[in-house]
Amino acid sequence: MNTTTRPHFTPKAKIRLAAITALLTWVGLALELYGFIHRAEMQQLGVLHGVATFFNYFTNLSNLLAAITISMWVKHASSPHADDVEYPDYLDITSVVAYVWLAGIVYNLMLRGFMHANWPATIILHDLVPLLFLIFWWSCIPRLRFTLKRVLSWLLFPIVYFIYTLIRGAMGGRYPYPFLDVSKFGYAAIVENALGIMVALLVLSMVLVVLNSYKSNNNQIK
């Protein structure tokens, strides 16, 4: 299947763009993981505590999804049989774009300056990856057909994350983000914050759906 959407982007250029984005995302994640492990060791909590804490943050999880997704795309696109084998699911790549943009927007609007930051990793994961991943999505992913049910299904990941965060926080007394801290604001306010973020994710998703409609009609897939 030919997946070109913009004629002036050659297949090799698309693969290079995706590979650079994938590499940068993995580097950002590695730097962030190192920072969590280093802080845990400084506090004499151990490496495993640092690793576990790393996975408590939506930014890290969403960027991990992005790194895996784009790496899979590069592997598929680089295959000599890429034209004969369809990529597993282009629609879900759009959801990952929405997740990394949500993480970047929330951090820059609500958290910058209030949380300990590993600055190289922060710039990569909150600023560069969302921009590059959007360019990759626009340039490399063909025009798609979305359904409302499919777009709404993208809320499942943050909903599961929110529930997990509340359970883990209730057990350990620690919450990854200030706006999810039940001990400070209570459950009612936290649920209200979470609903606001869900609405923001839906708005981002709909913006991507609209942008998708401006892509070339060539090679449109269902």
Whole-number mean pLDDT of the chain? 84
Tell me whether residue 100 is in a domain. Answer: yes
Tell me whether residue 191 is in a domain. Answer: yes
- Structural domain count, the chain: 1
Mean pLDDT of 169-194: 85
Q: Could you give the CA distance from residue 78 to residue 152 in angstroms, rounded to a whole number?
A: 32
Q: Give strand pairing partners of 221.
A: 144
Report the number of secondary-structure helices (H) and strands (E) in the chain: 9, 0
Q: Give strand pairing partners of 144.
A: 221
Q: Is 89 exposed, middle or buried (0-12, 13-18, 19+ CB in 10 A)?
A: exposed
Q: What percent of the chain has pLDDT over 90?
A: 43
- Any residues with CB less than 8 A from the CB of 138 and at least 6 apart, and which? 5, 6, 211, 215
**Which one, of 101, 29, 105, lies nearest residue 67 by Cα?**
29
Structural domain of 101: 11-213
Tell me whether residue 2 is in a domain. Answer: no
Is residue 98 a contact partner of residue 129, using CB atoms and an 8 Å limit?
no
Tell me whether residue 5 is in a domain. Answer: no
Report whether pLDDT(167) > 80: yes
Tell me whether residue 38 is in a domain. Answer: yes
Tell me whether residue 165 is in a domain. Answer: yes
DSSP state of 180: G
Tell me whether residue 109 is in a domain. Answer: yes
pLDDT, tens digit, 9 for 90 and up, residues 79-108: 776 554 556 566 688 999 999 999 999 988
Tell me whether residue 189 is in a domain. Answer: yes
Q: Give the pTM.
A: 0.86
